[in-house]
Amino acid sequence: MVVFTSVAVFLFSAIALVVASGFSLGAALLALGGMALLFRRPAGWWMAPRDWALAGVLAAYFLINVAANLFHGAPARDYDAPLRFLLAIPALLLLLAWPPRAAAFWSGLALGAIGAGLLGGWQLLMDGVLRPGGSTNPIQYGNISITLGILCLCGLSWAKQQTHARAWTGTLCIGAAAGVAGSLLTGSRGSWLALPVCLAIFACTQGSALGKRLAGAAALALCAISVVLWVLPQSGLKARIELAFSEADDYVVRGNADSSVGARLEMWRTGIAMLPGHWLAGWSKQGMIERKAELVRQGLAAPSIEEHTHLHNEYLDALVKHGLPGLLALLALYLTPLALFARRLRDGDGDGAARSYALAGTLLTVAYLTFGLTQAFLTHNNGVMIFGFMTVILWASLRTRERLTVA
């Protein structure tokens, strides 16, 4: 079974973006493989309270969203996203019972990030796509690509302890650079907000463990890539940032919502205006769409926001659709794993592998918290799958290192 979980974990990251819905294959294998625990369990297998806490928050998010959907009479398709978090629980149990090999996880992560960068570059330079997005939306592609790149950086502490340390370090650094470059090439500005935040946490937590030279070199390399893409006209990086400031100013001064940034600001304003009287139970997804359309017809909201099915802010979207319980469920989904990983990172010993997993889990959650400021990422299948299954993969890997250290 270790071979099975290792292959599934490798595929989950390795083909996440280079194959249409590639992340689904590894996730499906893990979820289905969890059924094996009904028939066979390894000797001494058990779950600690922290494991139950993670499984519990995944189940709670599912149940609260199901309750909200039942209350509002939502269609069956609205159960799809929360169901995927429930399916991450058997995957967690499987990975705790038969943890994957570390090399399978980190090599799959590096390969997935490198593939994301290469595919983004090919679509931009060879296919003439102005905003590369693989087989998905450029925003989602950019979020996932930069996530893979950031997580590659986290593996440097693990790589440092390996027999072929230089090869692993080089591979993960290339993966980090390619993943970040893949995001920058998409022009998805919301994903870029996560980079400085995650780099700051990386530098603060890993500077002494990795050595200032290695940590500094990794951060400097990512900054250098950003500078190169900034001055390269074909990348569109500089133009996208300048356009964001221009569109924001145009909305504030003239109320123009017929732009990417202007539409987001208008959606946030409209979402806040919809809260009075509905902050507890929310409007539901369909109710929010209908109310937004009504406000547009009344001239109280700009027509440019009518086509959107979410409010381009994870927290406001959850509050408007599912009320206060929905927002609390979302915050618990993010903050519980963050607390679990960050505690291990703070109390970490000299085990580089454990530190790598703890940092990766921390930065995964921080990245998603940042993405949520400008995008409701969990309304998309790939956003749900990457967060839900990557979280349980990292947690199970961390718990395995803890058990080995104690033994």
Residues 23, 95: Cα–Cα separation, whole Å: 17
pLDDT at 381: 95
- Residue with the larger pLDDT of the pair 11 and 233: 11
- Report whether pLDDT(258) > 90: yes
What percent of the chain lies above the pLDDT cut of 90? 77
Alpha-helical regions (H) of 73-193? 80-97, 102-125, 138-154, 156-160, 165-186, 189-192
pLDDT digits (tens, 9 = 90+) for 206-233: 866 666 666 666 666 667 666 666 666 6
pLDDT digits (tens, 9 = 90+) for 305-364: 999 999 999 999 999 999 999 999 999 999 999 999 999 988 766 788 999 999 999 999
User: What Rg, from alpha-carbon coordinates, does the chain have?
Assistant: 21
CB distance 58 to 388 below 8 Å = yes
For residues 38 and 294, give the distance between their C-alpha atoms in angstroms, rounded to a whole number: 51
Contacts of residue 345, Cβ cutoff 8 Å, sequence gap at least 6? 205, 355, 358, 359, 362
Contact indicator for 29, 11 with CB cutoff of 8 Å: yes
* Position 4 pLDDT exceeds 90: yes
HEC string of 325-353 equals HHHHHHHHHHHHHHHHHHHHHHCCCCCHH
Kindly state the tokens that stand for 68.
């909200």
The pLDDT, as a whole number, for residue 42 is: 75
Position 378 confidence tier, pLDDT thresholds 50, 70, 90 = very high
Using alpha carbons, select from 204, 133, 210, 205 the residue that is nearest to residue 172. Answer: 210
